[in-house]
Structure 1
Amino acid sequence: MKKSKILVHICCAPDAIYFLKRLREDFPESEIVGYFYDPNIHPYEEYKLRYIETERICRELGIKLIEGEYDVENWLQKVKGYEHEPERGARCELCFDHRLRKSVEVAKELGCNYLTTTLLMSPKKSIPQLKKAGEEATKDSSVIFLALDYRKGGGTQEMFKLSKDRDLYQQDYCGCIYGLFKQRDIPVQWDLVSFKGRRPGSKEERLFIKEVRLFVEELNLPAKEYEFPFLNWKVLEGKIEVDKEVIPSYVLPYSQSIRGVAKGKVEHVNGDKLFLNKQNVKIILSEPFRDLPLRVATTLISPTFIVPAQYREKLLSGKIVATLKTEFVPDRSEVLIIGSEKAREFWGIPADTLQDGKGTNINFLRRLIEDNREKIRKKEVAILLLGAESLGRAGSKFVEDFLGIKVNLICDWS
């Protein structure tokens, strides 16, 4: 092929890593431009995760990346009426058509004479379906669609290997909300709910870790991610009333649900802890009023509320009504090690935030990394970004168990 300019529609980093590598090998004289146009990806946090990982690999390969508009409303209108179609069905055809036609417009604007898509790399997608969509999208233009099959000859296996070597985020559904409901074998409601801050195991927590890694790699510092399982805990509903007045409260992590509603009075006091005479409900008086992490894992799971200390007398004398529904969920989080695993000292920083959103600010973390980059390079120190740390120091315990590293937590959720 003569020297050309190729626009590559990119769907995600795992599909792109090997595809772009092969494309560059096969067309060494061509200019390659990446175009991330994927309004089909839901929710938005999932979209950002896939984009930031795509940005990582494009930087590694020296490929320019353009982010398209996240025009999710137009996409929803495009596939309206096809919500229940199976994978590789009519909805997928419409989705391919929508994204590739937009890609053709961008290709023409950039002066590209060829278009292809990393969707061709996905084992979940039909190559004939994609070939048809690409040729239809380009037929009335000067742009030629390249239906490249890089899966064969061990391409799929190499894609998986490259993705694993680079700790790329591995999504477990194609991307759209309809695929989310059909392709996941676990409840999906937590994928569609956002909490304040970056709660343990959330997409927001993982996105924060990925953003920090991208910054670290810009500084040419070593980075390694480890994923680990943990027992997550989430609040579905909770409140505490005194004499029919709802008072401010947080729920202590790992508190179990209350059966129905607990109506009672304080029967025992131990310092700043009040104990009700119903369902082992406990109230912690806090001054200043703030959410608290679970610093030590415990098997004590009494329903526990944290309330402002100013309500002490009211709680001691009033009628209390407590409602609480929580859920314990097997989940996964991550640890990011910035520097060498053989460093002399290990500084730990929580990646997650408390329920009130308090936690490490990314600008603080960037300054810390920049200020200590020479120490990191010399293996004097490594910085560990710890997922799920507010739940019994899960991240620190994983690092100690798996790598034998003792972590010094240098900041928390203050």
Structure 2
Amino acid sequence: MLVHICCSVDSHFFLEKLQHDFPEEKLTGFFYDPNIHPYSEYQLRYLDVQRSCKKLGIDLLEGEYDFENWIDAVRGLEKEPEKGARCEVCFDKRFITSAKKALELGEKKITTTLLVSPLKSQEQLKRVGDDFHEKHGVEFIAVDYRSGGGTQDQSRVTKEEQLYRQDYCGCLFGLTMQREQQDKLMDEMFSPISGQTLPASIEERLEMYSYRNELEDKSIEYKIIKQKFLNYRQFNFKLISGKKDVLDAYALSYSTLPRKKAQGRIEFAAHNIHYFNREEIKLITLEFFNKQNSTNYKSVKELIYNPLSYEQELTFRKEINNTDYDLSPIIVVENIPDTKLTIQLDATTYEDTKEKIIIL
């Protein structure tokens, strides 16, 4: 039986149940989910599915990540709600591809872990699956593992196996609507030009779960916990000298301005820190930055495209301000300008939760 897999949270419990209920069937997993966006989220979910299938002794195949074709397939349905017409088109596309893979492999049966997801309509899935059976001759196995306490069992398995528990279906459009309803920043879509790993980002989770797999390969016991913290995202930043001369400048992480703009001049300097006469803003030279961080940046532009890690920046920020709770802008420039300055900084801080590995 070919089993279309969407994520480990759905698949691990689902596959365990299939192994129990269909002991005569050789199960083959097929991870085909071109709807998942961004690609880093796709990589993270596939990584966890690989681990899950390895633990269950199930062969796993990966389908093509043809995201652009998926976008074309759902065009015009972007505003459809969860379980609406867009989802049905999405199921069609994934089932057709899965059915063709089943025929290619000589399989006569197919099912999908989407059946166990509380965000999906089982009736909708069964309708599409039965249609595939009629057209392609591949039987769709519509098992119901949600009822009778199944959802609770699934949650237990997810916790016991420390699976990656994503908090959105995977679709860009579903995510957009979900974050709008939550009135929450859609920070999954942030990808800085610097390539810096942002706190609580998908990239950070991908690094953490890769590390988790390394620990398991070495038989090192661990626990994944969650912690609340103050997150930060910088949307744009510009430093203007005089009326229109834009200077190369870098604003350290957790730099904020309440009104997104400040105008003024350097008022005084002390201990290589130059104090602006507005909004507690501080400017430092690249030379001082290099000295304090044991770095060798040749220009501020190089710093912009290859910054320190977030942890290193926060350590440096604490050295400058002698506190963990400072949100004032700290700006790195090559030379301190002796002109009127305009600082444009659009950034936000917000309560968030991230995962962390504890070695036992």
TM-score, normalised to structure 1, is 0.75
Deviations 1:277-310 (A, max 9, x none): 23332102232245451124533332221223xx
Is 2:229 the counterpart of 1:230?
yes
Amino acid in the other structure paired with 1:277 = N
Deviations 1:15-68 (A, max 9, x none): 111110010111223211100111111222222222111112111111111111
**Structure 2 Cα separation of the partners of residues 130 and 151 of structure 1:** 14
Q: Name the counterpart of 1:157.
A: 152
Q: Name the counterpart of 2:330.
A: 304
CA offset at residue 100 of structure 1?
0.5
SS state at 1:301 partner? coil
Number of residue pairs matched by the alignment: 329
Deviations 1:212-244 (A, max 9, x none): 212322333323211111001221221223354
CA distance 1:140–1:278, shift in 2 (3 Å)? closer
Is 2:49 the counterpart of 1:54?
yes
Q: 1:25 aligned to 20, 25, 31, which one?
A: 20
Query: What pairs up with 1:87-98 in 2 under 5 angstroms?
Result: 87-98=82-93
SS state at 1:330 partner? strand
Q: Name the counterpart of 2:208.
A: 209
**Higher-helix-fraction structure:** 2
Amino acid in the other structure paired with 1:157 = Q
**Contact 1:180–1:188 under 8 Å retained in 2:** no
**Contact 2:230–2:349 under 8 Å retained in 1:** yes
**Structure 1 Cα separation of the partners of residues 154 and 65 of structure 2:** 26
Is 2:308 the counterpart of 1:282?
no
CA distance 1:233–1:86, shift in 2 (3 Å)? closer
CA offset at residue 199 of structure 1?
0.8
CA offset at residue 191 of structure 1?
2.0
**Structure 2 Cα separation of the partners of residues 140 and 261 of structure 1:** 61
**Contact 1:258–1:303 under 8 Å retained in 2:** no
**Structure 1 Cα separation of the partners of residues 85 and 262 of structure 2:** 51
TM-score, normalised to structure 2, is 0.85
CA offset at residue 258 of structure 1?
5.6
Deviations 1:159-195 (A, max 9, x none): 0011112222222222212211223313343222212
Q: 2:70 aligned to 65, 68, 75, which one?
A: 75
**Contact 1:53–1:168 under 8 Å retained in 2:** yes
Q: Name the counterpart of 1:335.
A: 356
Q: 2:342 aligned to 321, 346, 352, which one?
A: 321
**Structure 2 Cα separation of the partners of residues 260 and 334 of structure 1:** 30
- Structure 1 residue runs of 5 or longer lacking an equivalent are 1-5, 341-414
CA offset at residue 260 of structure 1?
5.2
**Structure 2 Cα separation of the partners of residues 74 and 324 of structure 1:** 38
Q: Name the counterpart of 2:219.
A: 220
- RMSD value over aligned CA atoms? 1.9
Identity score, percent = 42
Deviations 1:94-123 (A, max 9, x none): 111110110011111112121000001011
CA offset at residue 74 of structure 1?
1.3
**Structure 2 Cα separation of the partners of residues 154 and 115 of structure 1:** 24
Is 2:293 the counterpart of 1:294?
no
**Structure 2 Cα separation of the partners of residues 126 and 234 of structure 1:** 35
**Contact 1:273–1:283 under 8 Å retained in 2:** yes
**Structure 1 Cα separation of the partners of residues 99 and 4 of structure 2:** 10
Query: What pairs up with 1:114-263 in 2 under 5 angstroms?
Result: 114-184=109-179, 185-195=182-192, 196-243=195-242, 244-257=244-257, 259=259, 261-263=261-263
Amino acid in the other structure paired with 1:306 = V
- Structure 2 residue runs of 5 or longer lacking an equivalent are 291-296, 298-302
**Contact 2:8–2:48 under 8 Å retained in 1:** yes
